[in-house]
Amino acid sequence: MKNIKIGIPKALLYFKYKELWHLFFQKLGCQIIISSDTNKEILENGIKFSPDEACMALKIYMGHIHFLQNKCDYILVPRLACLKKDEILCTNFSALYDLIKNTFPTNIIHYNVDVKHNKTEEMAFIKMGKTLGFSKKESQLAYYYAKSRADLNKIKMLDEQKKLLQQKNLKILLAGHPYNLYDQFIGEPIQKLLKENNITLIFSDIYEENDLNEQVKTITKTNYWTYNKEIIAAIVQYEKHIDGIILLTSFPCGPDSLSNEMILRKIKIPIINLILDEADSNTGLITRIESFIDILEERRKRNEERTND
């Protein structure tokens, strides 16, 4: 097949797998169309096509699917149930494929990862290639290529982030699911505000993967959501090198509702949890963030005075 257009919604797991997806489809010679940044229209359509109580992140995703409809041959909608033994993901990721299929009349290309049932990521990508008319070998090569490049990129980003830890100004860890941290409507405005206040931002989706389980155990012993464990590991890794933590959550996130509670109860440095929903006015948020920054500055000053004494 030639000139296949694959639409990728710029929401949910896009922010986690974008390199992998880009490189894979590029290598195969497919054309990729990325939906635009979340905007008002996307959000409104998302709300329209989602169940009322869905988390804001899922609503946004639905808006992006709506945006891509009729703009491409296939829309990429992954279905991920289990990435590691004894762990699960938010059930939204297990339901995503069928949820979209029953809501929009559109062609979906998807891959299914469910390690518990022996469905690995590699197999999933090969199958995806097959749907598009590529041989097993072609897809496999493209997958290896994409995977190794994406991994390299992660290492590079980690190095860069580590350098930031040397900075002298206030450093805040923005912790949360990547689709919340980087979404134009959820994390972006907060990032902007913090940067304007001369804060160095550290992100929880860039972290060291070694010893993850050990690090998580210092906060919680039984948490079993893979993506939440990653957030916790990042918090443990950066805790000693930063001034404070902002936990970002999209309302009413299931896993976060419990996972965050443990974090808030166990972490000793200043931390706030910002919960965003589609009806939020920014003013309340701005006040909370600003007063948080004040607290961090105060705390720094006191600490410095103490060391000078």
Cα–Cα distance measured from residue 9 to residue 34, given in angstroms and rounded to the nearest whole number:
6
248's tokens: 């970002």
245 touches 176 (CB < 8 A): no
| 15 lies in the binding site for other proteins (CB under 8 A) | no
2's contact among ligand SF4, other proteins, none, with CB below 5 to 8 A by partner kind, is none
> What gap in Å lies between CA 47 and CA 54, rounded to an integer?
9
Phi, psi values for residue 75, rounded to 5°: -110, 135
Stretch touching other proteins by CB under 8 A, among 142-150, 176-184, 199-207, 253-261: 253-261
Per-position x/- string for 34-63, each x denoting binding to other proteins as judged by CB under 8 A, each - no binding: ----------------xx-xxx--------
78 binds ligand SF4 (CB under 6 A): no
Please work out, in degrees rounded to the nearest 5, the angle formed at the alpha carbon of residue 164 by the alpha carbons of 188 and 228.
55
The residues, any chain, with a CB within 8 Å of residue 202's CB and separated by 6 or more, are: 161, 164, 165, 171, 172, 173, 174, 238, 241, 242
- Least Å distance, CB 275 to ligand SF4, is 11
Please give the DSSP secondary-structure letter assigned to residue 38: P
Instruction: Tell me if 112 contacts other proteins by CB under 8 A.
Output: yes
Over the window 165 to 184, marking each residue x when it contacts ligand SF4 by CB under 6 A and - when it does not, the resulting string is ------------x-------
Question: Of the ranges 80-88, 248-256, 269-277, 286-294, which one interacts with ligand SF4 (CB under 6 A)?
Answer: 248-256
Residues within window 132-161 making contact with ligand SF4, judged by CB under 6 A: none
Closer by beta carbon to other proteins, 96 or else 202:
96
260: contact with ligand SF4 by CB under 6 A = no
Query: Residue 57 touches which of other proteins, ligand SF4, none (CB < 5 to 8 A by kind)?
Result: ligand SF4
Pick from 6, 10, 3: which is nearest to 24 by CA?
6
* 228 to 1, 87, 155, 255, 270: CA distances (angstroms): 39, 10, 20, 7, 20
Q: Could you say which of ligand SF4, other proteins, none residue 79 binds, taking C-beta under 5 to 8 angstroms by partner kind?
A: other proteins
Interface residue with ligand SF4 among 253, 276, 289, 296 (CB under 6 A) is 253
Beta bridge partners of 271: 245
CA distance 258 to 290: 26
Q: Does 250 help bind ligand SF4 (rule: CB under 6 A)? A: yes
- Residues in contact with ligand SF4 by the rule CB under 6 A: 55, 57-58, 90, 92, 177, 250, 253-256
The contact set with other proteins (CB under 8 A) reads: 50-51, 53-55, 79, 81, 86, 88, 90-99, 101-103, 112, 220-225, 251-255, 257-262, 265, 275
